[in-house]
Amino acid sequence: MFDTGLIEKLVSSENYFKKKEDVEKLRHKAIKMSHKYHFENNKFYHDYCKLKGVTGDIKSEDFHKIVIPDGVFKSYQMESPEKSPQEFKKWVDRISSVPLDFTPKGMGSLESFLQEFYSNGMLLGFSSGTSGKLTFLPRDSFTQSMLIRSYTEAIDATLKLNKGKENFILGIPKKTFLQVGFNGKVVANSISPGNVFHAFEELKADIIRLRMRGPRSSKEKVMNYFIKKMLPRIEKKAITSIVGQLEKNQGKRIVFMGPPFLIIGTANYVLEHGINAKIGKDSFLASTGGFKGRAIVSRDKMNDLIEEAFGLDPKRYIDLYGMTESNSIMIDCMEGNNKHIPPWMEVILFDEHMEPIPQEGKVTGNYAFLEPSSKSFPGFITTGDKLKIDYEGCPSCNKTTPILLSIERLPRIESRGCSGVLAKTVAG
């Protein structure tokens, strides 16, 4: 049985401020429950655990044994899932822990194929790496609801949201199965229904795949040529529409969120054209995804741009770190701009021999996480990122959670991420 009440108790903004020992006890209880559920309901995970000598009952000291490689979620064999619908459905069934009783038709576009799954209760949110092969995460309705809850509780622990009253300006598509776009849309609409503006109307999976992997046929080459001509204009249109919303909301509280390249483009446009886009001093600006695919701009430079263009105290500019495989985000505190690990996530860092590193002080290692809130797939995953974590916590605020000090991609691991997908897709 999957104990939803236990998960809901764990995923709460209040746990950022409680004693670490008390929250750890609750988190470990939830991980053990979630592990047993997936062991009994997920064919792949059951076989994987048996190979590791792990049964349905697990001790906390063995948590490092149950993390699965993130490559599992792109381990399907076909190049185009929509052209092999039954085979792809079998793959989804194998990695998923909840039954999905429908027969996909496929043979149309990838976008319509993903819509088939979504209409039958399963979100296949995706991201892509430089290889162009998409990573798919199967999220049922409960797991989607916990994604919304996880984001909302993490944000609320830092920003103190005025639920139902916030005005959102989002530099992400309104309709897309790209995970970052989907997350931003559903979270903003949950916090403040009807008060959400999107800079992009739609970004289809077929276009993203084509842009990331490159054309594979003469037809795709022609399509790619015209897409390259069209998409930079879409980026410029997105920037001007964001600027219009900022002008409309001069002096008012807004939440402006987008990938760094779009925030920078908007700020530069405002300054170059002498536009008054000064928003309320109680507003927030949030970026996510880093600079994959674009020139890196330092935090100090970002701070200067944001203050000059939007009249916003740089402390109210926060950066987010998350992964397609995760339901959660690590979010900067305003006091020290330190990214806090959500209290409902267990982070494990591995050394070069894939041995777990003790969770003490400042530690650098290969990043894995255990997130028990995912019901439709095991949220115990090792990634291609290398993190530096301070388990002693933040010196600047009163949260009791560990903080993230640095992020880098491991050597020989393809660069990927939703921000990088957006950056490459809309680049000329």
Tell whether 349 and 318 lie within a shared domain: no
User: Could you list the residue range(s) of the whole structural domain that residue 415 is in?
Assistant: 1-130+333-427
Is 337 part of any domain? yes
Q: Is the pLDDT of residue 420 over 90?
A: no
Is 142 part of any domain? no
Sign, CA torsion 219/220/222/227: positive
What integer pLDDT is reported at residue 329 of this predicted model? 95
Q: Which of 349, 384, 395 lies closest to 127 in space, CA to CA?
A: 384
Is 143 part of any domain? no
Identify which has the larger pLDDT, 255 or 106: 255
Tell whether 99 and 180 lie within a shared domain: no
CA 60 – CA 49 distance, rounded (Å): 15
CA distances 226 to 4, 220, 230, 322, Å, are 48, 10, 6, 32
By the 8 A CB rule, do 353 and 362 touch? Answer: no
Is 145 part of any domain? no
Q: How many CB atoms lie within 10 A of CB 116?
A: 19
CA 37 – CA 66 distance, rounded (Å): 13
Residue spans of alpha helices (H) in 130-273: 141-159, 179-191, 205-213, 218-248, 260-272
Residue that terminates a domain, selected from 332, 358, 373: 332
CATH at 256: 3.40.50
Tell whether 372 and 288 lie within a shared domain: no
Is 151 part of any domain? no
What integer pLDDT is reported at residue 413 of this predicted model? 53
Tell whether 166 and 268 lie within a shared domain: yes
22-52 pLDDT per residue, tens: 999 999 999 999 999 999 999 999 999 999 9
Q: How many domains does the chain have?
A: 2
What's this model's pTM, rounded to 2 decimal places? 0.91
318-330 pLDDT per residue, tens: 999 999 999 999 9
By the 8 A CB rule, do 136 and 74 touch? Answer: yes
Residue spans of alpha helices (H) in 1-84: 4-10, 20-41, 43-51
CA 149 – CA 122 distance, rounded (Å): 18
Tell whether 257 and 396 lie within a shared domain: no
Query: What SS3 state is found at 161?
Result: coil
Q: Is the pLDDT of residue 225 over 80?
A: no
Give the chain's mean pLDDT.
Answer: 91
Tell whether 212 and 294 lie within a shared domain: yes
Is 149 part of any domain? no
CA 171 – CA 287 distance, rounded (Å): 9
CA 71 – CA 382 distance, rounded (Å): 9
Tell whether 28 and 53 lie within a shared domain: yes
Tell whether 14 and 98 lie within a shared domain: yes
Residue that terminates a domain, selected from 314, 332, 350: 332
67-90 pLDDT per residue, tens: 999 999 999 999 899 999 999 999
By the 8 A CB rule, do 318 and 158 touch? Answer: yes
Residue that terminates a domain, selected from 307, 332, 357: 332
Tell whether 196 and 265 lie within a shared domain: yes
Tell whether 169 and 293 lie within a shared domain: yes
CA 164 – CA 194 distance, rounded (Å): 9
Is 146 part of any domain? no
Tell whether 176 and 320 lie within a shared domain: yes
What integer pLDDT is reported at residue 422 of this predicted model? 42
By the 8 A CB rule, do 107 and 91 touch? Answer: no
Strand residue runs (E) in 241-376:
255-258, 284-288, 317-322, 329-332, 339-340, 346-350, 362-370
Tell whether 341 and 318 lie within a shared domain: no
